[in-house]
Every structure is written in C-alpha cells, then in structure tokens.
Amino acid sequence: MTTAIAPTTLDRHWPAEGVTRVPFWVYSDPQVYEQEMSRIFCGESWAYIGLEVEIPHAGDFKQVIIGDRPVVMVRDEAGAVHVFVNRCAHRGVKFCRVPSGNVQRFTCPYHQWTYDLQGRLRGVPFHRGLKHQGGMPADFSREAYGLEALQVTVRHGTVFASFSMQVEPFADYLGPTMLSYFDRVFDGRPLRLLGYMRQRIPSNWKLMFENLKDPYHASLMHVFLVTFGLFRADQPSAVYMDATGRHACLISRRGEQRATSDTKDIRNLREDFQLHDPRLLVPVREFPGDATVVMQTLWPNLIVQQQSNTLAMRQIVPRGPEAFELLWTFFGYEDDTEEMTLKRLRQANLMGPAGLVSADDSEVMKLSQDGVAPYAEAAGVIEMGGRGVEDTEHMVTEVAIRAFYRYYREVMGF
Amino acid sequence: MAVPLAVRCEIEELLAEYAAVLDAMDLERWPEFFTEQCFYEIIPRENYDRGLPLAIMRCESKGMLKDRVVAIRETMMYEPRYMRHMLSAIRVTGESPEGITVEANYAVFETVINDLTRVFNVGRYLDRIVREAGQLKFAEKHCVYDSVLVPNSLIYPL
C-alpha cells in the first residue's frame, strides 16, 4: 500500500486472537459490505476486467462490474484498451445496455449524449439551444465531461483496472512470486476464448476466496478430486503468498488413484471408482515444472484456475453481503490442437456451477452462509497449519486464509 | 414435415418419459435414453449463439452420462432437492438419414428442501433422435438455456 489507511468508523471489534479467528459479522453486515466496496474494490487494487481476446477489434466492448460498480471495457481505433464507468456524465444513466458488442460511439439512450471510444464527450443534442432558446451555458465545455476513466493495465492478454490513480504498478502489486505464477499461464501466447459460465452463489464473496485458499478442505470434501488423485494432501504441494498476504497460490502435483498410509483420514477416497469413459480425465503436461494444479487468488476479484488442462478466470462480483456472482471465462491458446481444445472442454466438467468438483464448493458456501449469518457474534477457527502467515510446503494448512485476513484487516481498519 | 403422426406421438412420449425419469430422480435410467455414441450438453445460450463451444455439462458418450450419474450418487456433495420439468412446444424440425431433429421448450423448477420453489433453468432442447432396435433414442441433446445465471449449483441433468 502506498497511502495510509484511515481507521474505520465502524464499531466492530476483531477477536483478540487475531488472524486465527474470523468474526462472522464480516459475512453479513451491510455496513462492513459498503466499506468493502469502497476500500477494497475502489481502493488501491487492480481488479480483473477481462481478456483482450474478448475485444479483438476496434469498437468491441464488454460490460464488467467491479465490486458493485458497472464499468465498460472497450478497444479504441488505435488498439488501446480503455475502461470507463458505465455512467453517463450527464445524469448518471447506465448508458451501455448490452453485455458485449461492437460500437463506433456510445450514445446514452436518455438525452443522447455521445462518447467516442476513448470516452470523450462528442455530442450533446441542443448544445447551442434551439431557435435561440435553451442550450447549455456558454462556458459549458464538452472536454470537461468525458466518461470517468479507470487506470488500465494490459498484461499478456489480460486486462486489469483500478479506480485509484495511486495504485502501484501491476507487477509490483502482484510481487515476484505471484507474477511468476501468473506469467506461467499468461506467457504471451495469444489466447482462444472457449466460453462462459455464470452462477449466483448465496454466500458472502469472501467465502469464495477462502475456499480457494484452503487446501485442507480439497482433500476431504472433493471426493472426485481425491479419488482421481487430482488434488490430495499426500502429494507434493505448496501454498505461496505475496508479501502482503492478499494474493496466494495453491500448488499441487497429480498423484495416483491408490490409498497410502497418509490417506487413512481421507475416508472418501474411492479406490474402486473407475470411469466408464476415461476421456474425461486424460490430462497432458503443458506447463514447465512439476505442478499440475495452480489455483491463484488475486485480490480483489480474481481466481486464475489451472487444473490439469482446464484454464479459467473466475471473476467475483459481490451482490450484497449475502450473495455474489461467479463469472467463469474459459480459455486455451490460439495454437492449441483440436485434441487439446477437446481436453479443455471435457475437463471443464470438473468446474463451474455443474462441476463434478466445483458444485461441492458452491453448495458448501451456501451452507457456510446459512451457518454464519445468524451467528454474527461467533467466529471461525483458522488454526490448521499453525497460527502464522508464512509460505508452506504442504497442504494441511489454512495459512493463506490467515494471510488474507491479515491484509483485509489492514485495508478495512479493523 | 413428412413425419407420420404415430412417430410424432412416439417422440412426445419419449420426451414425457425422459422428463418423468428425471423428475423421479431415477438417474440410473437416464443414460438409457441415449445411444452409445451420444452427445449431451447443457450450454448457456450466450455461448451457443456466439459459437463458443464451452458447456457447463458435456458428455460425449453414454459412458460419460453414466460417470455423471455415479458422481451425483457417490462423490458430489449437495443439499437435497426436487426437480420438476415442464416441456412444451415440441416441434419436429427436420428429418434425414441421420435422424429426426426435434426442438422443445423446457422450464425446470427446483425445490431445495426447506426452501421456496424457484424457476431454476429455462431454455430449449435441440435433439436428434434415432431409432435403435425399435426404440427412439437421443443421439444428440443440447440443452440451450436462456437463464443467464445458474442459481447456485446444477446437480441433476436437465
């Protein structure tokens, strides 16, 4: 962080144990939520916006929401990517009404103020009045009423934006370790868009991050993953974070479908389960190094998913304290063979709202919300793997959740 | 279309039986509505209309349908729920040596037990139906859904 955080004006008190406790009021309190929207999503953070491949041509645009604020990503005639607020400078109308498309200009439907692809105000009907009547004041300057633009970073085909003009450069924001894992998937090769999945999960948005920072549950709840060795506590694995703790990576290697002395606590391991059609899971190694899974959580709204050959951006859009939307953008690389594309599409069966693995998560997040919301005075216990926040070379830990809340408390002033 | 009335009745019965089996949660019977080399998918309309291939459920054989059933029964974790299918506007849209193509609208209601019933998913079936050993079977079934967001999770097939 480059600027000091103001103390919160909210009268909320974190448990004395610190990051080994998460008070349940963080999941349901509307005032806490409002402060999150301003301090986290509109604060000094780089929010994920989309992929360049979604807007390949001049005039291509896509609606996006950062926190609860609608914005538009658009490519201009020179090829540059801009992100503007989806709010007319005149009276505040959300002028862009379709999710994505191509335009030459944006025109607000209410009074037809018109903006170019760089967000400059180009047209104000009756600017000079009509028959010497009305019109804007003589000193009205169109230059002063462009669309409010966000700061934008484009890195290897991905687009991030920030409401803050003071936010540090994107590479510094990620830090060297997180950047190296980010560049592992986004290595500069052109991407191929495979499609979207969208779901609304009735739980607080932070539970999604907790889920992806929690390798402890993955070995226990996800019978499908465990059974096929896609992610298991007895495999070589690691949890790495950036210096602040806001970002993390869960890293693992695929193992075999067999029980070992280490799997006796994994009572759900099903050695007998064989697929009728094994084509569902025939991963091929495609990235350097041993890791076959890297799940990267990037503050404030992104999970980069690499599980075997299925690659996706999972974008978190909060919808009030007790719900969020999860928008999945699946992709491959432009130079993928047809066979590789098929692998990605088949393995996508693990993920999304119908995912053989991910549906467990959306279901359990609802149960979490059902449990925590009525008991705001209670707190969760985050002590697996100790009480610290340091990088860890195994999976039996909740360290990344502790690190996340250490940073969360700093930003929120709790 | 030159599809005889008797075959149209048979198609309607096939769809009604299909819905009844799913509503009854008789999942083991679900793959039996399909050919061995079938293709089944549940795909957002957004992807389908734009030619993007990603589906939220994609099965490229009867074997993959069976694997889905085993996962639902044995490995997945979810809250108990009832599903109810409403099918309408069943139309034969073509006939060729590859089979009869049929479209139908569907609305699926979900009742998570202890909660209100909700409209879970609305869309249309795009089917290719063939006759195998006297029985009509789905060689292809594309469930193309209008519903932009899946309410939480989709556990059971549509």
ipTM of the complex: 0.97
Task: Give every CB contact of residue A229 below 8 A, 6+ residues apart in sequence.
Answer: A235, A254, A255, A256, A257
Is A281 touching B (CB cutoff 8 A)?
Answer: no
Q: How far apart are CA A348 and CA A158, in angstroms?
A: 21
Q: Determine whether the interchain pair B70/A273 forms a contact, defined as Cβ–Cβ distance below 8 Å.
A: yes
Mutate to test the interface with A, among B39, B52, B67 (most CBs of A within 10 A): B67
Q: Tell me the per-residue pLDDT of B27-58, one tens digit each, with 9 for 90 and over.
A: 999 999 999 999 999 999 999 999 999 999 99
Low-confidence ranges of chain B (pLDDT < 50): none
Report which residue type is found at B85. Answer: H
Say what the pTM is. 0.95
Q: Tell me the per-residue pLDDT of A327-380, one tens digit each, with 9 for 90 and over.
A: 999 999 999 999 999 999 999 999 999 999 999 999 999 999 999 999 999 999
Q: Tell me the per-residue pLDDT of A126-161, one tens digit each, with 9 for 90 and over.
A: 999 999 899 999 999 999 999 999 999 999 999 999
Number of other residues whose CB lies within 10 A of the CB of residue A32: 19
Model confidence band, residue A260 (pLDDT cutoffs 50, 70, 90): low
Q: What is the dihedral of CA A241, A246, A252, A257, to 10 degrees?
A: 150
Q: What one-character DSSP code corresponds to residue A130?
A: B
Highest mean pLDDT among A220-229, A273-282, B140-149: B140-149
What pLDDT is attached to residue A273? 78
Residues of B in contact with A224 (CB under 8 A): 71, 75-76
CA within 13 Å, CB half, A348 = 33
Mutate to test the interface with A, among B52, B76, B142, B155 (most CBs of A within 10 A): B76
Q: What one-character DSSP code corresponds to residue B152?
A: S
Q: Tell me the per-residue pLDDT of A14-58, one tens digit each, with 9 for 90 and over.
A: 999 999 999 999 999 999 999 999 999 999 999 999 999 999 999
Whether residue A121 has pLDDT greater than 70? yes
Print the SS3 string covering A277-312: CHHHHCCCCCCCCCCCEEEEEECCCEEEEEECCEEE
CA distances from A305 to A182, A255, A315, A393, B140 (A): 10, 19, 11, 20, 30
What pLDDT is attached to residue A256? 60
Whether residue A2 has pLDDT greater than 60? no
Q: Which residue of B has its CA nearest to A197?
A: B56
Residues of B in contact with A336 (CB under 8 A): none
* Average pLDDT of the segment spanning A279-286: 91
What pLDDT is attached to residue A395? 86
What pLDDT is attached to residue A258? 58
Whether residue A266 has pLDDT greater than 90? no
What pLDDT is attached to residue A227? 80
Choose the weakest-confidence range: A66-70, A228-232, A342-346: A228-232
Token pair of B25 as six digits: 């949660």
**Pick from A202, A275, A345: CB nearest B67:** A275
Model confidence band, residue A234 (pLDDT cutoffs 50, 70, 90): confident
DSSP 3-state of A194: strand
φ, ψ dihedrals at A343, nearest 5°:
-60, -45
